[in-house]
Structure 1
Amino acid sequence: MRTVSPSDTWVYALRLPHDPRAARVARMTVRSVLASHGRAEVSETVELLTSEMVTNSYLHTHGPASLRLTALAGGRLRVGVWDSDPRIPAPFGRPPRDRVPIAPVHADRGRGLRLVAEYADSWGGVSLGGGTLDRRAGKLLWFETGG
């Protein structure tokens, strides 16, 4: 008889409405998923960074967002957040024309993405296009941690 062992890789996706409670829902989902896969040791960092990215999506767009949590080979985790704004904020954007500047350390607001740069092992973003005719395209921002 052959036994099947669970894979070390998995994916969870969650569609989030444009709602101020979306970041909380995202944090609770991340916490639950990581605990169910025995990854509680990275939960605090992943929850914080996910919350910052989902909050930015809520503050800077008018539509829904999507969260995708992926376990990669070697114990790495990737979190991606999609939203409808095609502009890539710093530190995610490469071309200067797409960058929204990162907030100064002592700013009252806007420091969330600085946390991503500090605590994630890697991060990135891609504009999927969009504009007045196709607001659904947007962007995907992601970070990786663990391993």
Structure 2
Amino acid sequence: MPQTEPWEYSLYVPNDPRAVPICRRTLRLILTMHGLVRLVDTAELLAAELVGNAVTHTKGPAALRVRWADGVLRIGAWDADPQPPEPPAHLPGVLEEEDGRGLALVRACSDVWGWQPLSRFGNRGKYVWCELGGGQRGVTRRAS
């Protein structure tokens, strides 16, 4: 049975492609322990795309952030690059491309996604996130 109390986890990772499967496995364990097995497969895909983008397109460290509140799972990736993510194309439009499918998959598989710039302790960066369970599939928001 899923836990109804809110919870949040952060996993900080180096800029290393091996961080992606580590984040996927950690997320699987978190969701399983909280009784959210039904979300594992989609959540793993989304986390892999978000963290993969963070370690592929930036030079600094990254973090996977996962939060459960009010029946909504938010998955996000922080990175040190303040540049906004490229807006995702619709998935059919990028199927033939070598790359660029990540955010299109996030858009297609999540209920809502967005990004926000971050500045903390003199460090700049961004947080790209998506949600499962909110019922607003395909809506894009930029959180403040």
TM-score, normalised on structure 1?
0.80
Are 2:32 and 1:45 equivalent residues in the alignment? no
Aligned residue for 1:98? none
Aligned residue for 1:140? 127
Q: How big is the shift at 1:7?
A: 5.1
What is the DSSP-based 3-state SS (H/G/I as helix, E as strand, rest coil) of the residue aligned with 1:79?
strand
Alignment of 1:1-147 (within 5 A): 8-73=5-70, 75-91=71-87, 102=89, 104-128=94-118, 136-146=123-133
The number of equivalent residue pairs is 128
Structure with the larger strand share: 2
Residues in 2 aligned to 1:7 and 1:104: alpha-carbon distance in whole angstroms: 38
Residues in 2 aligned to 1:68 and 1:89: alpha-carbon distance in whole angstroms: 17
Structure 2: state its 5+ residue gaps.
Answer: 135-144
Structure 1: state its 5+ residue gaps.
Answer: 1-5, 92-100
What is the DSSP-based 3-state SS (H/G/I as helix, E as strand, rest coil) of the residue aligned with 1:138?
strand
Displacement over 4 Å in runs of 4+: none
TM-score, normalised on structure 2?
0.81
Q: How big is the shift at 1:67?
A: 1.1
Q: How big is the shift at 1:38?
A: 0.4
**Per-residue displacement from partner, 1:56-96 (whole Å, max 9, x unpaired)?**
111111110011100011x21001111011111133xxxxx
Percent identity over the alignment?
A: 43
Q: How big is the shift at 1:32?
A: 0.2
Aligned-pair RMSD on alpha carbons? Answer: 1.9
Residues in 2 aligned to 1:10 and 1:51: alpha-carbon distance in whole angstroms: 21
Residues in 2 aligned to 1:124 and 1:76: alpha-carbon distance in whole angstroms: 15
